């Protein structure tokens, strides 16, 4: 099973499509041409547009998947016995997944109910991870879950130019620096007020 003729090819095409779309969108930005995705997936435009009737639908599906992977990463982190290592693993995984790379899409597509729901799930899981670290005293007090989410978003931004392993490597180094900055117990206080959940969500449009 799995390779039963034409229907199986459709299934495989869908997977390759999603992978290609994730790759292209997170690397080139969300306004990459649809044809680039089809080419990268080794699939014709016709097949792409039969599966997703519009570019927006594809983007919406992609957002949901990205957030589901975020939830997964958070749960994996939560499963880690060490509160700090769990949190760090979560952050590193999300950045490696480019979970925040789809953020620039905010305001340009309609947010489905499923997207809101998954986003809430992801936020709750991340919140648990952060409060556990706070209670264990391994995370500086003046940092909130939203700070960390926005930090991951910042590090998920696509690199300029053609994708290169060097760039990924550099991002790893820089992230390590930022993670060290997250522990620093005696560090200087963070400037200003922490970001509000209201603002954070408002970037995507009005909540349901």
Q: Answer whether 57's CB lies under 8 Å from 110's CB.
A: no
**Euclidean distance between CA atoms 102 and 117, whole angstroms:** 17
Number of residues that bind DNA (CB under 7 A): 25
**Closer Cβ to DNA, 13 or 70, answer by number:** 13
Dump the DSSP string for 63-112. Answer: HHHHHHHHHHHHHHHHHSSSHHHHHHHHHHHHHHTTGGGGGGGTTTSPPP
Q: Residue 5's binding partner, choosing from DNA, its own copies, none, with beta-carbon cut-off 5 to 8 A by kind?
A: DNA
45 touches which of DNA, its own copies, none (CB within 5 to 8 A by kind)? DNA
Q: Does 7 engage in binding with DNA (CB under 7 A)?
A: yes
Q: Which residues contact 46 (CB under 8 A, 6 or more apart)?
A: none
Does position 169 interact with its own copies (CB under 8 A)? The reply is yes
Q: Give, as ranges, the residues between 44 and 73 that touch DNA (CB under 7 A).
A: 44-47, 49-50, 53-56
Residues that bind its own copies (CB under 8 A): 103-107, 143, 147, 150-151, 154-155, 157, 160-162, 166, 169-174, 176-184, 187-188, 190-195, 199, 203
């Amino acid at each position: 099973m799995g390779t039963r003729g034409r229907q199986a090819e459709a299934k495989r095409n869908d997977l390759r499509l999603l992978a290609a779309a994730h790759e292209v969108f997170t690397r080139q930005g969300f306004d990459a041409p649809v044809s680039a995705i089809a080419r990268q997936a080794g699939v014709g435009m016709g097949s792409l547009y039969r599966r997703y009737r519009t570019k927006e639908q594809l983007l919406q599906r992609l957002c949901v998947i990205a957030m589901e992977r975020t939830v997964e990463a958070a749960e994996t982190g939560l499963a880690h016995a060490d509160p700090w290592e769990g949190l760090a693993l979560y952050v590193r995984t999300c950045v490696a997944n480019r979970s925040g790379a789809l953020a620039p899409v905010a305001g340009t597509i309609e947010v489905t109910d499923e997207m809101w729901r998954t986003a809430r799930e992801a936020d709750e899981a991340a919140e648990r991870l952060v409060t556990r670290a706070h209670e264990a005293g391994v995370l500086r007090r003046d940092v909130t879950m939203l700070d960390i989410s926005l930090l991951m978003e910042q590090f998920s931004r696509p690199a300029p130019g053609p994708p290169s392993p060097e760039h990924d490597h550099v991002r790893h180094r820089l992230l390590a620096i930022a993670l060290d900055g997250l522990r620093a117990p005696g560090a200087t206080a963070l400037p200003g007020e922490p970001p509000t959940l209201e603002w954070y969500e408002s970037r995507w449009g009005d909540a349901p």
